[in-house]
Structures are given as structure tokens and as C-alpha cells.
């Protein structure tokens, strides 16, 4: 990564950290990627009264590649976290304040908008997608407000200068509206008919193929063993750990030693150790025999002993 971009990323991470702390979140910043081509940082925000938020931080959201996006949703499917990207630019264009952008269903915001999202200090309505902006409609509230004012579908369509079918679809929740139509709806019915973006309440639609093949025979064996003990698991391709899994409320983080990989085992273990204050987190590092005496708060084991470790810590 170019030096200026690296510096900007460091500054962005620091700003996100301060913003999260301001709102009472515990922050887990994970190790910086050893590969200079990986230009994003993973961060988890945790607070007991809120859902866990998994951030991917990059100077430009285009630096977050397909596998990184996939990992965000894959981890979310296991940990029930909220995936969110924080960037300053989208394809070299500066992100607007108070706008939630969508990139392949991944929400992307700048730091100022993150501040509003975490605090719920203001309603955020505008969604940016492919350089267009739109607003979501609460169909049920729209229909109720229209009927209370004795406005027919056709009359509202004339006011909004859209088709009657469009109004019908607004009420079904099938269509979003552009900013001009949103302004007219506010004038005629009120802001209540618009649907704000709330990071804590958003329904996450995961329609990506979340199957990642294991990288080696050891990971394959680990995943087979986990099938007998967990409700769900996900093999992480380009993030902070190798495998995440869940059994009831217990979260399981597994790092696997990759003998021929440039990834540092030390960094992986340090990353899973950072989840110490997550309730019911089980941290395991699957390592070679000679690494068993490595000093760590995580449980170190070789793959042949993994089943016994799981039997001791997880009820089937």
C-alpha cells in the first residue's frame, strides 16, 4: 500500500476507535494484515445492551474485495453480528455525511455517519447506491397515513407524479423512492412514512454463497470435528481467524497453524485472545506438537486432541 494511503488508514482506524469508545463500546482491533495488498482492518464493537458490530475499515470501500465482504456476512451468520464498512471514499469519490451507502448489500458509511448510527442521535434515511440516492418507505405507515387523510392511491400518485402501481408497491414495501418523491411524501403525509436506517434493528439478508473450502487437510479435519459439536460454523477466508462456530450462546474462535503460510500464528492467537471479554467465548489454536507449550490464554491443542477439548467445553 502506498505510504499516504497507509497513513490515512491508520488515521481512519483511530477515528473509528474514538467514536466507538465515546458511545461506550468495547473495541477489538485485530492485527494489521501482513500482506500489503490487503488494505482493510477488522474491528469488533461490543456493548452488552447492543448487538455486536463487525467493522471492515478501508480508505476506499472498493478496497474491500469479494472475499472480505463474504467473510463479513459469513461471520455475521454465525456470531449474529452486524456487518458494516467504514470508509472515506467510494471509488475515489468522497462519501457524503448522513448517508448510508450500499455495496452488494453491505452498508458503508463515513466516520461522521458512524457516529450518528451508534448513537441513534438522528434518523438516517438516505441510502446511496451506484451513485444514486433513494429513501426507504415504511409501507404500513404510508398506507395508514394515506387512509387517515382520505387520499386514494390515484390521488397520491398524481401528487407524487408517479404511477398508481408505484404507490401500491410503496405500500407493499417493494419500492424505494428517490429524493424528490420522498420530499413530496413528507409534505403530504409526514416524515413518519419514511423508514430510517438503524444498525441495531436492520434485518440482515444473507444471500451469498457462504461456503468456503478449507485451505488444508488440518482445517478440513477441524471442520469435520466441529460438525458434531456446533450448530453452525464458517471458514473465514480473509479475516482475523480461520474458523468461527457457535453452539447455543457459546462462540468458538479457532486459529489453525498454516505451516506454509505467511500468516503469523502469533498474530492469529493474539487476535482470538482479544475476544476474552465476549461472553461464553471459547478460543482454540490448533497447532503442531512443538507449539503446545506456547504461552497463551487460548487453548492450544493439536488436531488429534481437538475432539477431547470440545467434549470438555461444549455439551452436545
What secondary structure does DSSP assign to 19-73, as a single string?
HHHHTT-EEEEPPPPSSTT---EEEEEE-TTS--EEEEE-SBGGGS-HHHHHHHH
Q: CA separation (Å) from 50 to 60, 124, 226, 250, 271? A: 27, 18, 28, 17, 22
pLDDT at residue number 84? 96
> What are the structural domains, with CATH classification, of the chain?
3-124 (3.40.1350.10), 134-193 (1.10.260.40), 217-313 (3.40.1350.10)
First to last CA, the chain: 46
CA dihedral 222, 223, 227, 230 (to 10 degrees): 80
Please check the confidence at residue 209 and state whether its pLDDT lies above 70: no
Please check the confidence at residue 205 and state whether its pLDDT lies above 70: no
pLDDT at residue number 100? 95
CA count, 13 A, side-chain hemisphere, 134? 12
d(C-alpha 96, C-alpha 90), whole Å: 10
pTM over 0.85: yes
Q: What's phi and psi for 293, nearest 5 deg?
A: -90, 10
Please check the confidence at residue 147 and state whether its pLDDT lies above 90: yes
pLDDT at residue number 207? 57
Q: What is the pLDDT of residues 6-22, one digit of tens each?
A: 889 999 999 999 999 99
Under 8 Å between Cβ of 59 and 87: yes
d(C-alpha 148, C-alpha 277), whole Å: 50
Q: What is the pLDDT of residues 129-142, one digit of tens each?
A: 877 899 999 999 99
Beta strand ranges found along 61-140 (DSSP E): 82-86, 89-90, 93-94, 100-103, 106-109, 126-129, 132-135
CA angle 122, 126, 127 (to 5 degrees): 125
Please check the confidence at residue 117 and state whether its pLDDT lies above 90: yes
**C-alpha cell belonging to residue 92:** 475515489
Identify the band that residue 1 occupies on the pLDDT scale cut at 50, 70 and 90: low
Under 8 Å between Cβ of 87 and 102: no
Nearest by Cα to 57 from 239, 227, 181, 221: 239
pLDDT at residue number 262? 47
Mean pLDDT of the region 166-185: 93
Amino acid at each position: 500500500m502506498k505510504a499516504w494511503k497507509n497513513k490515512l488508514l491508520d488515521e481512519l482506524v483511530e477515528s473509528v476507535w474514538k467514536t466507538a469508545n465515546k458511545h461506550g463500546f468495547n473495541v477489538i482491533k485485530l492485527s494489521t494484515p501482513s500482506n500489503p495488498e490487503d488494505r482493510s482492518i477488522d474491528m469488533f464493537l461490543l456493548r452488552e445492551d447492543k448487538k455486536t458490530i463487525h467493522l471492515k475499515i478501508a480508505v476506499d470501500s472498493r478496497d474491500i474485495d469479494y472475499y472480505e465482504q463474504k467473510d463479513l456476512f459469513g461471520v455475521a451468520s454465525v456470531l449474529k453480528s452486524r456487518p458494516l464498512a467504514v470508509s472515506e471514499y467510494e471509488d475515489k469519490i468522497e462519501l457524503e455525511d448522513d448517508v448510508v451507502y450500499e455495496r452488494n448489500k453491505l452498508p458503508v458509511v463515513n466516520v461522521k455517519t458512524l457516529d450518528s448510527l451508534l448513537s441513534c442521535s438522528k434518523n438516517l434515511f438516505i441510502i446511496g447506491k451506484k451513485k444514486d440516492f433513494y429513501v426507504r418507505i415504511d409501507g404500513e405507515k404510508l398506507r395508514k397515513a394515506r387512509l387517515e387523510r382520505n387520499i386514494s392511491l390515484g390521488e397520491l400518485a398524481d401528487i407524487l407524479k408517479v404511477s398508481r402501481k408505484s404507490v401500491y408497491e410503496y405500500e407493499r414495501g417493494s419500492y424505494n423512492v428517490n429524493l424528490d418523491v420522498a420530499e413530496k411524501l413528507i409534505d403530504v403525509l409526514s416524515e413518519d412514512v419514511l423508514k430510517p436506517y438503524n444498525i441495531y434493528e436492520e434485518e440482515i439478508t444473507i444471500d451469498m454463497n457462504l461456503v468456503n473450502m478449507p485451505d488444508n487437510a488440518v482445517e478440513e479435519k477441524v471442520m469435520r470435528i466441529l460438525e458434531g459439536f456446533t450448530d453452525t460454523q464458517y471458514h473465514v477466508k480473509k479475516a482475523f481467524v480461520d474458523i468461527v462456530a457457535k453452539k447455543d450462546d457459546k462462540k468458538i474462535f479457532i486459529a489453525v497453524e498454516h505451516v506454509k503460510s505467511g500468516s503469523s500464528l502469533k498474530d492469529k492467537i493474539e487476535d482470538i485472545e482479544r475476544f476474552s471479554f465476549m461472553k461464553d467465548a471459547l478460543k482454540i489454536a490448533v497447532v503442531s506438537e512443538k507449539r503446545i507449550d506456547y504461552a497463551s490464554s487460548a487453548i492450544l491443542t493439536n488436531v488429534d486432541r481437538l475432539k477431547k477439548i470440545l467434549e470438555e467445553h461444549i455439551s452436545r
